[in-house]
Chain A
C-alpha cells in the first residue's frame, strides 16, 4: 500500500484513506485476542480477590511470577559456572520504573564483557547451553529485553521507529546502570536487530557486533509470485494478531501447544535437561504475560515478519571500524542476502560470515559447541586489537576472503 501511494500521485488521497482504514481494521483486530484473554483472566482475578469464590485454577491464563522464577532456576541449574541473577532498575524509560532482569557470570574477569540479547519470545534461560563456555574467558551478561521474560512490561509505542528507539534506549540505560564502558554485543534474531540498531546509535560502546541469525536485516522484496486472493485474506487477518497470541489463547494448554507446534525446541535441550517439559513451560511463562515487548515487535514488523525499518538501509551509518561477525545456521536461509549486503556496504571493515552446518534458526541451541567456539574466536579477535587503537581501520584483505571457505565448512 505504501508502495502504491508513492507511485500514483493522483490517487494519493484515496490511498491514504485506504491506509487509514487498513490501520483502523488492524487496530481493532489487533488486541482482540489479547484483550479477550487478559480481560477474562483479570475478571477471574477480581472474582478471586473480592469474593474468594473463584479459585485460581479457574483462571485461563496460568502465568505466575513465582513459576517463571522457578522454571528459570531449574533450567539454569545446568550452568556450572557461578551465576547471579538480579533486576537492574533503569528508571523511567518507557514505563514509570522499568527493571531489566540480568544474569551475570564471571564478573571478576578484566576482559571486555559479552552481552547477550535473546530473540522474540525467548528469555535468558535459553542461553543455558552457552553460558558456561562463553563465561569461561570473560564476563558475560545475559538480559531479558524490556518487555520480555522477567523484565517489566511497559506499553511501547505503536510506531516502528519509536518502539525501536525505546528498546535501544532501555539497553543503553541498562549499560549506564551496570557501569560498563564498552562490551561485545551478541544478539540473536530480534536481539540481533536491536544489537545492530544499538551499535549504530552508540558505536563507542560496542567493541564487536556478533549477530546470530539476526532478524530485520533485508528489505521486504517485492512480491514476485502471485498468491491467490484468499491467501491474502488469511494473511491479512493473521498479521493483525500479535505473533505469539496463540500461546495466550491456549491458556492452560499453552505448554502443550508450544510442544505441539515446536517440538524441536525442547528437543534441542534434550541432552542437557532431564525434564522435557521445562522449556515449553518456560516459554509459556515468558509469553503468557501482557505482551508488551511482543507488541513492540509487532509494531516494528510489517507483513509476516519483515522489518518496517530494515537494518540494511542504515548499515552504512554504522561505524566502519566496528567489526561484525555474522553467524548463521545452514538451514536458516535468510542469511545470504543480509550477509552479502553487509559485505558489500562495508568493504573496508572487518566482517566475517560463518555458517554452521546442520543448524537452523536457533543456532546457539542446535550446535552449541560450534556456536560457542565461533563466538569465543570472535571475542578473541576483539581482545587482540588494542582498545585504544581500535579506531584504526582494520581491513584485512585475507580476512575478507575467509567467509568463502568457511561457508562450506
Chain B
C-alpha cells in the first residue's frame, strides 16, 4: 500500500497528525512509496526522513503565527514563505535525506511551460531534494513571481496538475478536505455535491469552504491544532476500519497554560477549558517531554516580547490595525520591494556573508532587544548549516530577500565595517531606550539558550510537587555560551543575565470540580507513558496550549483502565461510525443498555471529551452487558484473528522515533 498526501498549503498541519498516527500504529505502511504535492510532499518527505513530528508541528504553527502577524496575512510582501520553508527544511532534514527519499518519495510538480504533471522520485543531493520540495510548493504570485528551476526546468506547485498523485490502485489518499479520500475529515454534510479539482475530491460543505479559504490564509493556531488532532483521529479511524492495527486507544490531553507576568493577578480561565476537564491537567507539566517544554517556553516568551504585541492583543487595536490597512499595506509593499531589490551576488564568500547576515537581520520593525538576540541566534545556526555547504548557490533564488544592510557588502569591506559599526551603535541605543522593558523580557534570553543550545536544566521536582494553590513555577537556570553570541555591546544588551535564575511564571488553572479519580487516572497514564505526539501553540490570549496524545491501550493496570474504559476501548475498535454525533444522541439509541453501563459510559465520556469530541464522537455500537463477552463476541471472526496477530506484531516493534526521551532531571 502506498500513501499519498494532498497539497493544501497551511492546512498541511493535518498531514502531520496523520503522519504521526501512521508512524505509531502502522509503520509497515511507511516502508512503501509515499507521494505528495506541495505541503503533502513536505509531509511525505519528513515522514520518510523520520523527522521529529512534535518539532515540526510546533514549527509549522510558528510559521502560521508569523503569517498572521502581517498586515495582509501570508500575502504580505514581507512574508516570504519560501524562505521560511527553506529554513525549516535545512534545519530538520538529515544529511542523507536524498538517499532515504530516492525511490520512495514521489513529488508531484507542474511544469510551467506546458502545465503537465511531472513526478520526481530520485534525488541526487540533499539540495536537489529541498529544491524539488520548494518547487512543488511554489504558488505563483503567492510565493513569488518567477517559478524556481529544478534541473534546468521551471516548475510550480503540483496542485495545478495533480494534487493527490496516486501511484497505483492501492494508494491510501490523505486529504484535509472532506471528500472521497481514504483519510479525510468527516463533516456533517450530505456527500452530494462534490467537485474534483486536480484529482482532489472536495465536497461542497460549509467546513470545506472554510478550509479552502484557509489554504492561503492561515487560521488561528488553535484551529490548526485542532486540524492536526483531527488528522490523527481520522488516520486512526481509517486504520481501525481496515484492520490495520490492533485495539488501541488514545487519550488526547490538552493542557492550557496561562502566561502572565505576575503570578497572582491574572488568573484567567480559558472559556474553552470549561467545556471539559481534560484541559486542566496541570500535572502534565511534570512529564511534558523535554523538547516540547522548551518550545513551549519559547512560545511563552515570544508572547511577552514586545510592547507592540501586547498592544495588539486588545480588540481595539485589532480594529485599528484593520482600519489602518490602507496605509500600512503600501508601506509594507514599498519596504519589501526595496529590500528585495538588493540581491546578493553569488560570488561572495560564505565567511563574511555570515557576518553580514548576522548584522543584517536586525529587523527594523521590531524594536525590542530580545528579538535581535533571537534572530541573530537563529540565523547563526542557519548560516552555519547552509553557508558552509558548497552547493549553496542553488538556493540563491530563495535567499534574495535580505534586509537592506545586505547591500553593503557590494560596496566592499570598508563600507561593511562602517555599517556594522552603525548597526551596533544603533542597537545599543535601542537597547538603552528599551531598557525598562528588557527587564520584563529577560526570560527571552533564557528561552533562547534553551532552544538554541539546549543547556537547560529544569527543576522537575518543583513541577511534580503540586502546590495546593494550583500554581507552579518552572525554574530553570541558564548558561549562555558567550563565545557563540559575540556582539560588541550585545552582552550588556543581554540583560546582565549571565547566570540568571529565571522564573517564568506558568500559572495553571485547575478546576475545583475536578474529579479526583479521573485526575489520578490521567496522571498515572501520562506519567507512565510517553506521548505519541505532543505539540504546543500560543493563542491570542497569551495562553500556551500543549496537546499531547497518549496511547493507553497497553496499560492494563486497573487504575489506568477501569472496566468502563475498557468497554470504550473495545468499542472504539469497531468505531467505523463516522458520524459527528456526540454522546447524548446515542444514549437514546442504546436502549437496552443497563443503567449501570450507561453511567459508566458517561463517566468515561467526560474523561475522553475534548474540543474535538463533537467531531469524533466515540460511539458504542452495540450494547453489551458483559465486557468480557464484548471482547470475544463483538469482533467478527476475520478481524479477531487478524487483530491478534497484529497485536503481537506491533508489540515486537519498538517504535521509538516519536517518543521523546524522558526528561533529564
| Chain A interfacial positions (CB closer than 8 Å to B) | 120, 189, 213, 215-216, 218, 220-221, 223-225, 227-228, 231-232, 234-235, 238, 243, 260-265, 304-307, 329, 331-334, 336-337, 340, 344, 358, 360-361, 404-405, 407-408
- Contacts A228-B210, A332-B180 given: A221-B188 contact, CB under 8 Å? yes
Query: Does B637 sit within 8 A of A, measured CB to CB?
Result: yes
Query: Does B190 sit within 8 A of A, measured CB to CB?
Result: yes
Chain B residue nearest to A331 (CB atoms) is: B180
> Helix, strand, loop or mixed for chain B's interface?
loop
Select A225's contact among B199, B243, B577, B614, beta carbons within 8 Å: B614
CA distance A232 to B241 in the complex (A): 33
- Contacts A227-B210, A305-B190, A360-B201 given: A221-B580 contact, CB under 8 Å? yes
CB-based contact B196/A304 at 8 Å: no
CA distance A28 to B196 in the complex (A): 30
- A142 to nearest B CB, angstroms? 21
Query: Does B346 sit within 8 A of A, measured CB to CB?
Result: no
24 A-B residue pairings within 8 Å (CB atoms): A189-B192, A215-B190, A218-B579, A223-B188, A224-B580, A225-B614, A227-B207, A243-B192, A243-B193, A261-B197, A264-B199, A304-B189, A304-B193, A305-B193, A306-B189, A307-B190, A332-B191, A333-B578, A344-B589, A360-B180, A361-B180, A361-B191, A361-B192, A405-B637
Query: Does B182 sit within 8 A of A, measured CB to CB?
Result: yes
Cβ contacts under 8 Å, A344 to chain B: 589
Within 8 A of A (CB), among B506-533: none
Query: Does B347 sit within 8 A of A, measured CB to CB?
Result: no
- B603 to nearest A CB, angstroms? 22
CA distance A220 to B578 in the complex (A): 14
- Type the 1/0 row for B195-210, where 1 means its CB is closer than 8 Å to any CB of A: 1110101001111011
CA distance A218 to B186 in the complex (A): 15
CA distance A331 to B637 in the complex (A): 24
Which of A224, A232, A307, A340 has the most chain B CB atoms inside 10 A of its CB? A224
CB-based contact B614/A405 at 8 Å: no
Within 8 A of A (CB), among B609-631: 614-615
Cβ contacts under 8 Å, B637 to chain A: 405
Chain A residue nearest to B169 (CB atoms) is: A358
- B175 to nearest A CB, angstroms? 11
CB-based contact A333/B210 at 8 Å: no
- A243 to nearest B CB, angstroms? 6
Q: Which 6 residue pairs across A and B have the least CB separation, nearest first? A: A224-B614, A305-B190, A360-B180, A305-B192, A331-B180, A264-B196
CB-based contact B206/A304 at 8 Å: yes
CB-based contact A305/B189 at 8 Å: yes
Query: Does B582 sit within 8 A of A, measured CB to CB?
Result: yes
- Contacts A264-B201, A337-B579, A408-B639 given: A224-B188 contact, CB under 8 Å? yes
Query: Does B581 sit within 8 A of A, measured CB to CB?
Result: yes
CB-based contact A304/B194 at 8 Å: no
Cβ contacts under 8 Å, B595 to chain A: none
Chain B residue nearest to A361 (CB atoms) is: B191
Cβ contacts under 8 Å, A243 to chain B: 192-193
- B215 to nearest A CB, angstroms? 14
Cβ contacts under 8 Å, B194 to chain A: 361
Chain B residue nearest to A310 (CB atoms) is: B190
- Contacts A221-B580, A262-B195, A360-B201 given: A334-B209 contact, CB under 8 Å? no
CA distance A185 to B186 in the complex (A): 30
Within 8 A of A (CB), among B147-202: 169, 180-182, 186, 188-197, 199, 201
Number of A-B contacts (CB under 8 A): 103
Cβ contacts under 8 Å, B579 to chain A: 218, 221, 336-337
- B618 to nearest A CB, angstroms? 14
Chain B residue nearest to A404 (CB atoms) is: B636
Chain B residue nearest to A366 (CB atoms) is: B180
Chain A residue nearest to B582 (CB atoms) is: A224
- Contacts A224-B582, A304-B206 given: A405-B195 contact, CB under 8 Å? no
CA distance A235 to B82 in the complex (A): 34
- A371 to nearest B CB, angstroms? 16
Chain B residue nearest to A335 (CB atoms) is: B578
Query: Does B242 sit within 8 A of A, measured CB to CB?
Result: yes
Which of B199, B206, B576 has the most chain A CB atoms inside 10 A of its CB? B206
CB-based contact A215/B209 at 8 Å: no
CA distance A49 to B484 in the complex (A): 86
CB-based contact A231/B196 at 8 Å: no
Cβ contacts under 8 Å, A260 to chain B: 197
CA distance A333 to B193 in the complex (A): 13
- B445 to nearest A CB, angstroms? 39
Query: Does B638 sit within 8 A of A, measured CB to CB?
Result: yes
Cβ contacts under 8 Å, A232 to chain B: 206
CB-based contact B581/A221 at 8 Å: yes
Cβ contacts under 8 Å, B210 to chain A: 227-228, 231
Chain B residue nearest to A227 (CB atoms) is: B206
Cβ contacts under 8 Å, A307 to chain B: 190
CA distance A331 to B171 in the complex (A): 13
CB-based contact A306/B169 at 8 Å: no
Cβ contacts under 8 Å, A408 to chain B: 241-243, 636, 638-639
Within 8 A of A (CB), among B317-341: none
CA distance A346 to B193 in the complex (A): 29
CA distance A262 to B615 in the complex (A): 28
Select A334's contact among B191, B201, B207, beta carbons within 8 Å: B191
Which of B190, B201, B614, B637 has the most chain A CB atoms inside 10 A of its CB? B190
Cβ contacts under 8 Å, A336 to chain B: 576-579
- B11 to nearest A CB, angstroms? 15
Within 8 A of A (CB), among B485-504: none
- A123 to nearest B CB, angstroms? 17
CB-based contact A235/B191 at 8 Å: no
Chain A residue nearest to B578 (CB atoms) is: A333
CB-based contact B192/A120 at 8 Å: yes
- Contacts A224-B614, A408-B241, A408-B243 given: A235-B209 contact, CB under 8 Å? yes
Cβ contacts under 8 Å, A264 to chain B: 196, 199, 201
Chain A residue nearest to B576 (CB atoms) is: A336
CA distance A122 to B436 in the complex (A): 71
Select A262's contact among B192, B196, B577, B638, beta carbons within 8 Å: B196
Cβ contacts under 8 Å, B205 to chain A: 304
Cβ contacts under 8 Å, A263 to chain B: 196, 199
- B643 to nearest A CB, angstroms? 11
Cβ contacts under 8 Å, B241 to chain A: 408
Known: A225-B615, A231-B206, A231-B210. 14 other contacts (CB 8 A): A213-B191, A221-B579, A224-B188, A227-B210, A235-B209, A260-B197, A265-B196, A304-B190, A305-B189, A331-B182, A333-B191, A404-B636, A405-B638, A408-B241
Within 8 A of A (CB), among B64-82: none
